[in-house]
Chain A
């Protein structure tokens, strides 16, 4: 009870610290931090801009913002599931790319109708991610290869193999990216008119919200989650209790990979619509930050995803409006992350303060 309150309070303190440091830097640059932060909200459609381009409105920005958050939610959940099992999945980006690429080449350029193409994209994303994830788990279980090493290696392998195929077969000679996928396969409905504005409808957000609930349910209510967490806390004790440690590692990486796969299809076949060769999505790494700020808990991750994305998504608009470099956004995020990683110290500090308060109260009681 108290520890949950502490966690929320710690997150709030970390976020405040990030915003404060950002504000100081903005002040030093001679700009108004409040205005800059308001620009962030405006850029995400959470506050009205002064003027809009024709056919665009606040709702356009808002939906585009939600579209960009969707892959982050999946990716951060992927990190969280692995982390609860004591594994560090740093290969979310590679798993995303693998899933996104497979779905692109199998369905993205096909002539399948939307009702078949879209579910198929999702299924391929899940399957591809799960496959790559379980490979990592199996390597760890069978050959004791540290998952950090194998996932980083696999990131490179996937990145180069995929870019080879894109450049030899699927390249769009103008954009230097893979050819744009067909609208039927896309998880984001482009340019849908709503109230007279052109909007992108992020279909996968529904799935992302479902995934938040599903992971929460898995980790707190399911027997499988009990086993995975046990392995995460203490592999020795879990083994003693008869839990198959190797099987749990593979299972956990499989689920983590499947979520990363969903992140991949919602990113490449939703938000972007194409794949840039030789580039790993930063989403896979940002999601580690999101997961940590969200306390590795699904509900926390949901909040952290939406919050941190305001800063990075809104930074473009902030930079165009106030002339600040958009890198300020990365600084703010970095400070938040830094203070989150130090939060154990912070929580200890809070615990002590609470103790001394209780002590004082106890003394007051005994005086009466």
Chain B
């Protein structure tokens, strides 16, 4: 059968209780192209790929691989059709070496005496050859638990290649990577295509699509909106296709109108829970109506600064002043009452109690106060009223409103719930850590608008983000952190993006960041 498509998913419909995740979606992927699936969170991208990977069964429609109609009932069947997938959350055994992880379940065998044994020497050799062939440098004998996220991701890719996958699915592969790591990943993806692999890239980041994809399918609320050639697509138009309305990509940012100093951090030194000093002698001030962004590569101490200010981590030395008053010795709750709101980095384990319902989570800052508690009894109707108000005001969507168990909500709406709860306190200081990580354009826009709105009403905002674009777009003042120390603090308009990037790598504005970057990857 003559067919130019290696993979076709025809008229796929998948329903879940109360929602149609995929509604008559048809995609046709050519051999050797990079095909992007673009859409907001909850648009149905992941469901579609889970169907292809055998994790869900479609209610309607059919799948053809190389022109043959197939039924894919499990991931191992998908692998048999040479389909491989790199999940957003890696599936690696952290105590095994890279080679052991890659060959796991498909090991080259040898004999140890008369007993069968895994031929690790051969495995290492195979992995080395494979990694050279595709330009994915890894050390096969390194233990997975000791390597960085981007290397782990390469291991996942090698796992697919080892199983001779021809169709490679990447689910939001750049979500946890730094800008430099993203560059190198996109290069890898391009190389894979050039060596004949077919790539499906699930993403909500337009610029990645623009940079690597050949064609792009836009999904919205389970429906296929359009398929475009990336070469002749217009970013703004695609963005509006994605979210369903014309949106402005530029924020309406008013000039800063700063007031008195709200937060004054002096010579702050903080150790993490293992006792390692992550923050060293850090000082900065934030005024009312000012957004100070701390830019830096992940793990350089920025989250520890936020935790120390909110009281989650003890201060080793130095002082934190809120409105001129030292809060260093206060408990978490006392600090919150003094006027600190905190949107933490880890929304699943810290920001929310996933097994509580939405109304309980929205009431988490107030539950112990009147009118939420009277004589030690919870007032359920007060929780409900308050939750309904916030759900309406901040457009938090869920399957059963205030009673929805938060675990079942989408990431974007979980984050909206946290932001709503924290902003609603009307505090003089708000700390945002990675507020838009993993969120789609629409949700990101809303959160960015909220941040600016808070600043304009006279709130001091501490923004900690790994997304350089976000920092550049929102910040009034930028402080760059490297290895626990703030290298430079200056008004945002005196920096270029490249300069911030260079400081993030620990080198000054003049030097080239590239050398340092290579060093770090090794």
Contact = CB atoms under 8 A, between A and B. Distances in A.
B327 interface: no
Interface string A327-358: 00000000000000000000000000001001
A238 B361 CA distance: 11
A358 B355 contact: no
A310 B344 CA distance: 51
B378 A221 contact: yes
Given A222-B377, A362-B15, A237 B351 contact: yes
Contacts of B336: 242
Contacts of A242: 331-333, 336, 365
Contact of A223 (B312, B353, B364, B367): B367
Contacts of A237: 349-353
Interface in B322-364: 331-333, 336, 342, 344, 346, 349-356, 360, 364
Contacts of B16: 355
B284 interface: no
A192 B346 CA distance: 63
B283 interface: no
Q: How large is the interface on A (under 10, 10 to 19, 20 to 34, 35 or more residues)?
A: 20 to 34
B350 A236 contact: yes
Interface residues of B, number: 30
Interface string A224-242: 1011011001101111111
Which of A222, A223, A236, A241 is packed against the most chain B CB atoms within 10 Å? A241
A222 B377 CA distance: 4
Given A224-B376, A355-B17, A240 B344 contact: yes
Given A236-B350, A362-B15, A223 B355 contact: no
Contacts of A238: 353
A320 to B, nearest CB: 48
B355 A240 contact: no
Given A221-B378, A237-B350, A226 B344 contact: no
A359 interface: yes
B378 A241 contact: no
A358 B16 CA distance: 9
Contacts of B246: none
B378 A223 contact: yes
Interface in A69-87: none
Contact of B59 (A239, A241, A244, A359): A359
Contact of B365 (A222, A241, A244, A362): A241
A362 B17 CA distance: 9
A240 B350 CA distance: 6
Contacts of A233: 353-356
The 3 closest A-B pairs by CB, nearest first: A242-B333, A223-B373, A241-B364
19 contacts: A222-B378, A223-B367, A223-B368, A223-B373, A223-B378, A224-B376, A226-B360, A230-B356, A233-B353, A234-B349, A234-B354, A234-B355, A236-B346, A237-B350, A238-B353, A242-B331, A355-B16, A359-B15, A359-B59
Given A240-B344, A355-B16, A355-B17, 12 more contacts: A221-B377, A221-B378, A222-B377, A226-B360, A230-B353, A233-B355, A234-B355, A237-B352, A238-B353, A358-B17, A359-B59, A363-B59
